[in-house]
Structure 1
Amino acid sequence: MLLIVANVLYVLTAVAMTVLILLQRGAGANAGSGFGGGASATVFGARGSANFLSRSTAVLAGLFFLLSLGMGMYVSRTAGDRPTSTDLGVMAGATTPAKPEAPAPAATSDVPAASAAPATDVPAATATPAVQGDKPAAQPPAPAPGK
């Protein structure tokens, strides 16, 4: 229950901090205010918005830091109390499948068995049995490249 409340407060702090940072003026906005940029027409006065927004951002940043630190310490202390197998979420009921056995080859198959030789672009030379006294057949010369 405490962790849920801390998470909700953590997200709200992060969103509020993001909004306050986006509302602040950049460093280049001061140059335009000297030429009538409308800085005096703000709700907080000419200089009040910068102080209010920067102080609010600093307070929210401190709160964000403290919440991060507190939740990290809380989770690290409670993580040692429970076994890790119960912290699997959806995968808690999953089991590892057994290795399937190799299927026996079918004797009445119409499909020929696959050869173990690797497939290459170059056909393999077939060896013919030599009879004693025969000379190996002469190979024709290879054509010259480019001709």
Structure 2
Amino acid sequence: MYEFLLIAYLIISLVLIGFIMIQQGKGADMGASFGAGASNTVFGSSGSGNFLTRTTAIIAIVFFILSLVLGNLSSGNGDTESQFEDLSAPAMTEEVPASDSEVPGSN
């Protein structure tokens, strides 16, 4: 299941990038309102904004949900008991002997 979700996550991310790239900027609306190339567009002069923005929003929501699900699934992977065997015991420390040049006041 994890592999299926990972492949779906990759596909959704590529589709989201594609939908973001084909959208027009906010400055392009002024030219379309005066008829500059509005007949050459696929969705008409005003139809592309609603369709593309809604579809992009839906794909972005699916992308974020998949991100959360994959994050939760991957956080449970691995053997955590071997890393943290006994947390109640104090940590082992090693004393490193200082050389003469590192001792303060030995100049």
Aligned to 1:142: none
Distance 1:24 1:83 in 2: 50
Distance 1:13 1:82 in 2: 35
Instruction: Give 1:34 shift.
Output: 3.3
Distance 1:61 1:13 in 2: 8
Q: Which has the higher contact order (CA 8 A, sep 6+)?
A: 2
Instruction: Give 1:49 shift.
Output: 1.2
C-alpha contact 2:2 2:70 (8 A) present in aligned 1: yes
Runs of at least 5 residues in structure 2 that lack an aligned partner in the other structure: 84-107
Aligned to 2:101: none
The 5 A counterparts of 1:74-85 are 74-80=73-79
Q: Which has the larger radius of gyration?
A: 1
Matched, 1:28 2:13: no
Greater share of residues in helix = 2
Relative to structure 1, the CA distance from residue 26 to residue 81 in structure 2 (aligned partners, 3 Å threshold; closer, same or farther) is: same
Equivalenced residue count is 83
Instruction: Give 1:27 shift.
Output: 0.9
CA RMSD of aligned residues (A): 1.9
Amino acid at match of 2:29: N
% identical aligned pairs: 39
The 5 A counterparts of 1:10-25 are 10-25=9-24
Runs (4+) off by over 6 Å: none
Aligned to 2:43: 44
Per-residue Cα deviation, 1:31-50 (whole angstroms, up to 9, x for no partner)? 22233311233222222111
Report the TM-score, using the length of structure 1 for normalisation.
Answer: 0.50
Distance 1:82 1:60 in 2: 38
